[in-house]
Amino acid sequence: MTPLAPGVFVDDAQRYELVSRIATGGMGEVWRATDTVLHRDVAVKLLKAEYADDSRFRTRFETEARHAASLHHPGVAAVFDFGEASPVAGSTTPVPYLVMELVDGQPLSVLLRPSAPMDATAVRDLLAQAAEALGVAHARGLVHRDVKPANLIVTPDRRVKVTDFGIARAAEGMALTETGQVMGTPQYISPEQAEGHRATPASDVYSLGVVAFECLAGRPPFSAETPIATAIAHVRQPVPDLPASVPADLAAVVQRALSKAPGERYADGSAFAAALRQPAAVAAGGLESSGPTESRPTTVLPAAPVTRAEPADRAESVGRTESVGRAESVGRAESRPPSRRTPMAWLPWVGIALLLLIAFAVWQGVIAGRDDPGDDNTPQQPTQSQSPTETPTETATETPESPSPTTEEPATVDVDPDAYVGRDHKDVEKELEELGLLVDEVEIENPGDQGEGLVASVEPTGQVEVGSTVTVTYYGKAPDDSSGEGSEGEGEGDGSSGNEGQGNGQDQGQGNDE
């Protein structure tokens, strides 16, 4: 295969002509290209040779590319075509490539700022759009597996497009060759994926819930010193509380999406989208997905109607806000027909229930008196009291102890751009990783007066949380004299196209580098 460069065709039919490199990521390169048959701009992603050499990956890639191409929805970045380019030097295996819609916009990861929460109304709208797009894929049996801000492109008119369908599925079965790497992105990976289990639509819901948390809190819910530690935190650590400024109903929706057990989340993207758009209705029982209610039938009280299982389950999974439980109680009271005999018939049962609760409380006090004050089992008490759904005061007194880990200030490191700009990007990447940071590398066009591989910028800077992602932008190979002016003129002449490239490029590059 001819080395990748502007003017090179990636296919033997000479349909897709490369124009300029948008970004370089962990799985390959993304180029702006021209479809010479339909006369339109497209994004072409060429995968790295090591992926091409794995026969299992190539088979999965082709299957998933077909599935992704079958998705037709305004919220999904379309896959137009896929194929195999000629082998690179030193290999006999063709290189897989995807031809995708070139999106005019920026990844959500670019819009996020550390310690700067987004407006709750904007978060509802943007992530509901993303959830709807995921719901369309889920209805067709397709799971994204790598939902994160870098794969959510926001257009100038505030529309969201989800990208990179099929890539994570194809890569899921490949052996990991780099120490400490986790398939998927650790900050957004679901607990079941972190444990090596199969991803489901509920896994995408969890990952999008992490994105929602980060948008509302200005930081991800879990961030550790290493990718592995971050993935483990998703499995073991309780979800921190969102800021008090976040509306309680929206916070409850996000908390449920972040449930550790898949069955306690929204069943798919469509259910999550409905909850984001009408969180108050969901809290009152107006909108619901059947997934969570089927996973915990023991929460249904013997004499209660079956429809009460949904509010009880939600109250347990959300737990952190009392307003949700009260709204559900009102909804249930209105749904029952009036009866004069019902209160009298229930009086003996109410008395018995109160006696049982008093006995249970006394027994708990005796047991607590025997326990070691330093015993760390206390945070598990709320799970023991899940079956008696009519005892919210007990769980409320227990829960203040569980958020204690969140009171710790996250570890931070100082990222000084002056210490990295102008240096070789490989050395900078190594130093940042030694500080406990994740690194995304983005290669940009060289204006001609910069050294190849030298760092142009580092973002974000200042105090950065350990485990966060830092984007290192560096210059590519300098163009020769014959093509330098042409490339520069094209960039200056089409500013909007540059934004398009940045959207796809950062999405593709960041979406797979981790």
- Pull the structure tokens for residue 223: 């961030």
**CB atoms near residue 443 (< 10 Å):** 23
Is the Cβ–Cβ distance between 402 and 382 less than 8 Å? yes
Amino acid identity, residue 30? V
CA distance 100 to 248: 39
Which of 72, 224, 222, 64 minimizes the C-alpha distance to 145?
Answer: 64
CA distance 402 to 308: 27
CA distance 189 to 449: 41
Catalytic residue among 104, 146, 164, 204: 146
Q: Which of the 8 DSSP states describes residue 74? A: T
Name the strand (E) or helix (H) holding 215: helix 201-217
Measured in degrees and rounded to the nearest 5, phi and psi for residue 226 equal: -130, 160
* Furthest-apart CA atoms within the chain: distance in Å: 94
DSSP annotation string for 348-392: HHHHHHHHHHHHHHHHHHHHHHHS-TT-TTGGGHHHHTSS-TT-H
- Pull the structure tokens for residue 503: 């959207």
Positive/negative CA dihedral, 193, 198, 204, 206:
negative
The set of residues, in sequence order, having a beta carbon less than 8 Å from that of 157 and lying 6+ positions away, is: none
Residue-level length of the chain: 514
> Does residue 416 carry a catalytic annotation?
no
Cα angle value 74/252/256 (rounded, 5°): 70
Which of 447, 429, 418 minimizes the C-alpha distance to 24?
Answer: 429
* Catalytic residue ranges: 146
